[in-house]
């Protein structure tokens, strides 16, 4: 009796994932994964985009100009490939996250015993993508989610539709065209603009109001002061402090 139940459970979980993934129009692929040293090392990012398209997704690099049809950043998924520790074996898995950094799907762990990293990582990633193919992705045409969220007031909690709240946020945020959005990463956050393009990478420190920050080739700190974030760095032995609008 256990085997049929286990099969039905796996089928149910896969179906739930598929339903969720189908609500997103495309996937954004980064140019570099955190466990690698350079952009598109071992051509893993190219392989990622290739596999996504093969699985039926629209896919774009995060520095790529995308059509207006995909301008709503919350209608997109954001892929990441992560390395799992293994002795004499390469193990990779991938996650698909929404615009708030919530994991919508996590693949199986692909593995390879090849010694050459180029071969091993390619084999492991292709194996991890098998679970993505199993989703049989097809865009559902969903426009916006209406998951109820609770807003606490002094008198009583009020339930609002997520779509309405999202619309209100857009009206407020549109006032600041330089607003950056924080996406969670294993080591901290990455800040993206509305393109979406990665503008800055943040690395956690022991202080919740301070991050090590890297913007292009400049390294400094992102610090919270008086409820406002500042990117601070040295230029020609002079401390520069730039105000940054961030939505976590």
Shared domain check, 198 and 162 = no
Q: pLDDT (tens digit, 9 = 90+) per residue, 189-226?
A: 899 887 778 899 999 888 888 999 999 888 899 999 88
Long-range contacts of the stretch 38-45 (C-beta < 8 A, 24+): 42/117, 42/118, 42/121, 42/122, 43/118, 43/122, 44/81, 44/121, 44/122, 44/125
Last residue of a domain, one of 104, 133, 162: 133
Cis preceding linkage at 135, omega within 30? no
Q: Look at residue 128 and tell me if it is in a domain.
A: yes
Hunting for tokens 């393109």 — which residue is that? Answer: 195
The backbone region for 144, taken as left when phi is positive above 0, alpha when psi lies in -120 to 50, beta otherwise, is beta
Shared domain check, 210 and 152 = no
**Contact, 99 vs 76, CB < 8 A?**
yes
Shared domain check, 191 and 156 = no
Host domain of residue 119: 24-133
User: Is pLDDT above 50 for 57?
Assistant: yes
Total count of domains within the chain: 3
Specify the range with the lowest mean pLDDT, choosing from 1-5, 43-47, 242-246: 1-5
- Contacts of residue 126, defined as CB under 8 A and 6 or more positions apart, other chains included, come to 47, 51, 110
185 versus 96: the higher-pLDDT residue is 96
Q: Look at residue 57 and tell me if it is in a domain.
A: yes
Q: Look at residue 10 and tell me if it is in a domain.
A: no
Shared domain check, 123 and 34 = yes
Specify the range with the lowest mean pLDDT, choosing from 109-118, 164-173, 199-208, 218-227: 164-173
Shared domain check, 168 and 201 = no
Shared domain check, 96 and 193 = no
47: CATH: 3.30.160
Q: What is the predicted pLDDT for the residue at 144?
A: 43
Shared domain check, 129 and 63 = yes
What are the structure tokens assigned to 170, written together?
């857009």
Q: Look at residue 12 and tell me if it is in a domain.
A: no
Antiparallel, parallel or unpaired: β 180-185 and 188-192: antiparallel
């Amino acid at each position: 009796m256990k085997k049929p139940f286990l099969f039905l459970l796996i089928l149910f979980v896969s179906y739930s994932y598929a339903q969720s993934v189908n609500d997103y129009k495309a996937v954004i692929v980064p140019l570099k994964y955190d466990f690698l040293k350079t952009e598109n090392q071992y051509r893993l990012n190219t392989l990622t985009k290739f596999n996504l398209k093969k699985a039926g997704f629209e896919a774009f690099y995060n520095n790529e100009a995308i059509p207006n049809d995909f301008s709503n950043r919350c209608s997109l998924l954001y892929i990441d490939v992560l390395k799992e520790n293994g002795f004499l074996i390469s193990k990779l898995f991938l996650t698909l996250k929404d615009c708030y950094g919530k994991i919508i799907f996590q693949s199986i762990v692909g593995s390879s015993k090849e010694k050459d990293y180029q071969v091993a990582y390619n084999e492991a990633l292709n194996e991890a993508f098998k679970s993505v193919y199993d989703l049989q992705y097809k865009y559902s045409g969903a426009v916006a989610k209406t998951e109820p969220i609770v807003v606490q007031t002094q008198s009583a909690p009020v339930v609002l539709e997520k779509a309405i709240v999202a619309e209100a946020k857009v009206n407020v945020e549109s006032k600041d065209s330089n607003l950056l959005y924080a996406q969670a990463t294993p080591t901290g956050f990455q800040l993206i603009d509305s393109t979406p393009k990665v503008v800055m990478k943040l690395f956690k420190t022991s202080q919740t109001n301070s991050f090590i920050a890297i913007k292009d080739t400049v390294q400094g700190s992102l610090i919270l002061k008086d409820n406002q974030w500042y990117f601070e760095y040295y230029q020609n032995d002079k401390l520069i402090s730039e105000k940054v609008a961030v939505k976590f």
